[in-house]
Amino acid sequence: MRFVWAVFRREIKSYFVSPLCYTAIAAFLGIMGVLYYALLMGYERTRLRAAMNPLAEMPGVENIVRGMLGSDIMWAFLIIVPLLSMRMLAWERQQHTAELLLTAPMTTWHLVLGKFFGAVFVLITMLALAVWMPFVVVYWGSADPAPLLSGILGVLLYGALMLAIALLASSLTESTIQAGFLTLLFMAVVYVVGILVPRVPLVGENLEQFTPGGNLSLLARGVVDTQPLVYFLSMTALLLFLTSQIVDSQRWR
Amino acid sequence: MTSTSTSASAGGGSASPVPPGRPRQSMIEIDQLHKFYGPFEALKGISFTVRSGEVVGFLGPNGAGKSTTMKIMTGLMPPTRGSVSIAGHDVLDEPLEVRRAIGYLPEIPPLYPEMTVRDYLSFAAELRGVPRARRRRAVDLALERCGLTHMAQRLVGNLSKGYRQRTGLAQAVIHEPRVLILDEPTVGLDPTQVIEIRGIVRELGEERTVILSSHVLPEVQATCHRVVIINRGLVVADGPMDELLSRESHGGVVASLRRPPEELDPLRQLTAVRQVQRLGEQEFRFFLEPGDDVRERFVAGLANSGYGLIEVRAETATLEEVFRDVVLEEVPA
Ligand SMILES: Nc1ncnc2c1ncn2[C@@H]1O[C@H](COP(=O)(O)OP(=O)(O)OP(=O)(O)O)[C@@H](O)[C@H]1O
Ligand SMILES: [Mg+2]
């Protein structure tokens, strides 16, 4: 574990002096801000329309929160996770520090975990900087805060899963640019599958529980169930395991 | 008992250091190493052994396979065939044991430009399993050894090439490994730095096993007990430095004469002379008859010959000559 800790600490120090990291955080906050604004405007329009129609019910703010925690965050991740993947394993290879890490007396698993938790730390920082947006809505709209809290947990788990995808992608190449594009490609596939699956006739709804997006929306609805937790944690662990196998197999190629 | 090698480090004398005469087991065993890069065979069956406490120079022209061999030794890549064992552990079977035993300086130093030298070395120490309590001292010692103390707070990315190389070397020695694998440790260093590094390698070589690749042959000649020369993936020479050098030297004696005869014949008539070559206007190389006291008799005879002997010296080969010989044997010029 002390090896994981060593790699993790170095990662964090390095992230927070890196322009790329600040670019990613700025991009995240920018995207979330714009989408937040769009959601508020949309809400305002429906509210005005409802006010003019005496038969209509006043809309709640739950949809804003659900929007932020669902599709909004997914689009933001599609930009920033590939950016973060450019500082993962391909980066170590590109600048030849991989030789230092791979000849140290630690297992590849330690290395992979250290790198992964480093990126998760950046993710947590980003989320912490953006989390006021939905809280403001919930507070002023006097909505139930429970779905927001479970939704934030969902976003964290979902983001961690995307970072695990990024780490895997970055283990496949020596170029950081390629790592970024590969991550984008993998995530795009996951998204497209996520969009298509619910449209499969008959079984679509049942299949949705196997997509990351489906599990995220379960949590964003306030359903704190073991199913999405188990789903995210096991998928993430599986990807990290695969990544360490890939790195090891490269050592033995 | 090995005082000769330390005291000579600063002076950089031409005599090669004597290996310490204690019983030694083998630390590095390389057996029939083959490596294919796709269809290209970079190593074609490399075998050699390095005993504990030896400092071995690993030489060869560009593309000979030195870095490839060293990468296989560290477990960075597998051999296609053959085996490497370090400190009694097979690289493929017990990679962690091997990695615990080694310090490695790759051809391109593995540096994080955004870290300070001190932070970087502290991280390297942590990765190499130096316990926290001893880490600071280990870093200080490595800084001092590699002449980096005044650079400790600099960012690695702002260092000059020579200082980067030193930082890479400091990283390799920080945990006092039993086996040091250095791929061109003195590349990019100025002559004073080279001598300092030579000192470090020797100092470490007292206790540890060192294998270093280099293109600077006088460097190797002054630092290493033994030399392994490879060419196109094959070992072409392997032996103690003294042995290689004496094998190469033709046993000639070079003499300068103020009043040499016009012809070579009178010189050939001198005591104990077998053959003579003219090297210059006043310089000649004499090959002597075999025997114990031939040089003595030859010099006495030459001094009395009346040709005005002003200088005489026995020829010793340089590593350069050995290198040229074994490498050129392979490649038709
Ligand atoms: N990753 C690789 N893929 C293909 N060929 C390679 C690879 N690495 C090395 N080679 C080839 O293998 C041969 C040996 O390379 P190596 O780097 O071991 O040589 P070297 O002795 O270290 O040379 P130098 O003195 O230039 O450092 C070279 O012909 C090189 O082109
Ligand atoms: Mg090389």
Residue A14: list chain B partners with CB under 8 A: 112, 114-115
What is the DSSP-derived secondary structure letter of residue B263? S
Helix axes A19-52, A73-85, angle to 10 degrees: 170
Average pLDDT for A197-204: 76
Q: E-assigned strands of B153-233?
A: 179-183, 209-213, 226-231
Ligand closest to the CA atom of residue B65: 1
Distances (CA, A) of A122 to A20, A74, A157, A183, B160: 12, 17, 13, 17, 32
- Tell me the chain A residues in contact with residue B76 when contact means C-beta distances shorter than 8 Å: 99, 102-103, 251
Question: In this predicted model, what pLDDT tens digit does every residue of A25-52 receive, in sequence order?
Answer: 999 999 888 888 888 888 888 888 887 8
Q: What sign results for the dihedral spanned by CA atoms B132, B134, B136, B142?
A: negative
Select from A6, A105, A251 the Cβ nearest to the Cβ of B76.
A251
Q: Is the pLDDT of residue A7 over 70?
A: yes
The single residue listed with the structure tokens 């790195």 is A247
Q: What secondary structure letter does DSSP report for B53? A: T
Please report, for chain A, the start and end positions of each structural domain, with discontinuous segments joined by +.
Answer: 2-251
pLDDT of A147 reads 80
Interface predicted TM-score of the whole assembly (ipTM), two decimals: 0.88
Q: What is the pLDDT of residue B85?
A: 95
What is the fold, at CATH topology level, of the domain defined by B250-314? Alpha-Beta Plaits (3.30.70)
Percent of chain A clearing pLDDT 70 (strictly above): 98
pLDDT digits (tens, 9 = 90+) for A82-127: 999 999 999 999 999 999 999 999 999 999 999 999 999 999 999 9
| Domain B26-247 of CATH type 1.10.3720.10 | no
With 50 as the cut, is the pLDDT of residue A149 above it?
yes
- Full pLDDT tens readout for chain B, 333 residues: 333 333 333 333 344 444 555 556 889 999 999 999 989 999 999 999 999 888 999 999 999 999 999 999 999 999 999 999 999 999 999 999 999 999 999 999 999 999 999 999 999 999 999 999 999 999 999 999 888 999 999 999 999 988 999 999 999 999 999 999 999 988 878 888 788 878 878 877 777 899 999 888 888 888 888 999 999 999 988 988 877 777 665 667 888 888 888 888 888 888 888 888 888 888 888 888 777 777 788 888 888 888 888 888 877 777 777 777 777 765 444
Q: What is the C-alpha to C-alpha distance for residues B313 and B285, in angstroms, rounded to an integer?
A: 10
Cα angle for residues A94, A98, A102 (degrees, 5° grid) = 160
CA dihedral A179, A183, A189, A191 (to 10 degrees): -160
Q: What is the 3-state secondary structure (H, E, C) of A27-93?
A: HHHHHHHHHHHHHHHHHHHHHHHHHHCCCCCCCCCHHHHHHHHHHHHHHHHHHHHHHHHCCCHHHHH
Could you tell me where in chain B the CATH 3.30.70 domains are found? 250-314
Across the A:B interface, residue pairs with CB atoms under 8 Å apart total 69
Mutate to test the pocket of ligand 1, among B33, B36, B58, B68 (most ligand atoms within 8 A of CB): B68
pTM: 0.84
Tell whether the model's pLDDT for residue A236 goes beyond 80. yes
Cα B41 from chain centroid? Answer: 25
Q: How large is the greatest C-alpha to C-alpha distance in chain B, in angstroms? A: 77
Question: Which residues on chain B place their C-beta less than 8 Å from a C-beta of chain A?
Answer: 74-78, 92, 96, 99-100, 102, 104, 106, 108-115, 119, 123-124, 126-129, 171
Q: Where in chain B is the domain with CATH 3.40.50.300?
A: 26-247
CA of B110 to the centre of ligand 2 (A): 15
Determine contact, residues B24/B53, Cβ cutoff 8 Å.
yes
Query: Which sign, positive or negative, has the C-alpha torsion A151, A154, A160, A162?
Result: negative
- Cα–Cα dist B142/B170, whole Å: 5
Tell me the pLDDT band of A165, cut-offs 50, 70 and 90: very high
Picking from B67, B76, B131, the residue whose alpha carbon sits closest to that of residue B98 is B76
**What kind and span of H or E run contains A238?**
helix A226-251
Rounded CA-CA distance B243/B250 in Å is 13
B23 secondary structure, DSSP code: -
